[in-house]
Amino acid sequence: MRVSGVMAGSLLGQDSGSTAAVTVIKRALELESESRYPQALVCYQEGIDMLLQVLKGTKDVTKKCNLRKRISDYMDRAENIKKYLDQEKEAGKYHKQIKIEENATGFSYESLFQEYLNETVTEVWIEDPYIRHTHQLYNFLRFCEMLVKRPCKIKTIHLLTSLDEGSGKEQQSSGLEEIRASLRNHGVQLELEYSSLIHDREIRFNNGWMIKIGRGLDYFKKPQSRFSLGYCDFDLRPCHETTVDIFHNKHTQKI
């Protein structure tokens, strides 16, 4: 995808109200020039919204005309990026990477997955070898809760994990059975499968999105106490360092 230069600096005057918009648009141009198209698209969309607010407060006719032209140009650039990303998705070439730093916050399941969940999602496949211990079972339960309450219309969840062969075997089995029964009450079928050979961690939705998290669902740190921020709201829970790779393939299905 070729990028033609457009200077954000000539976008507006020097009034303080336009400073933030110029900064965001400049960032979008930089990201686009670096071929970081998903991030560039987000910045363009944010910048355009800010420019529209500036336009509402602009009285000078000439400035309004120039600003409308700039907004139109940036909307065209954003639309071209969106079309390019859609083509990449269709070709199965889409890849986005998110790096979660040590102790970072703001990465609850809702924050991480909401972009990829919509009403077309009816089936999910989770491969994670470590859905064994109590906190890991709660992580899986929390992920299921998100799927049930999001706009998607989940019918089936497939979980492939490893079997705890130690003292936690009964707890793992009974915990997953309780989750299965609870999901059934919400009209969702949980299909369980165990494998001692599983190592990869990935989540696939039947709308084509595939998310691979280095640590699987278990990337949250233990809370400092039962009454510390982040104990309930996982957007406030510090994370372990990990990497999230996001792919798209319209033919995503169980492998």
Pick from 137, 133, 139, 134: nearest CA to 164 = 133
Question: What pLDDT score was predicted for residue 89?
Answer: 77
Second CATH level (architecture) for the domain 95-248: 2-Layer Sandwich (3.30)
CATH architecture for segment(s) 16-92: Up-down Bundle (1.20)
Residue 26 host element (H or E): helix 19-33
Domain ranges of the chain: 16-92, 95-248
Are the beta carbons of 121 and 149 closer than 8 angstroms?
no
Tell me which H or E stretch contains 88. Answer: helix 61-90
Q: What pLDDT is attached to residue 235?
A: 96
* Cβ proximity of 243 and 100 under 8 Å: yes
Q: Consecutive sets of 10 residues in the chain, 255 residues long: mean pLDDT of each?
A: 55 63 92 87 92 89 90 94 85 85 97 90 96 96 93 94 90 97 97 92 94 97 94 96 90 48
Q: What is the pLDDT of residue 255?
A: 41
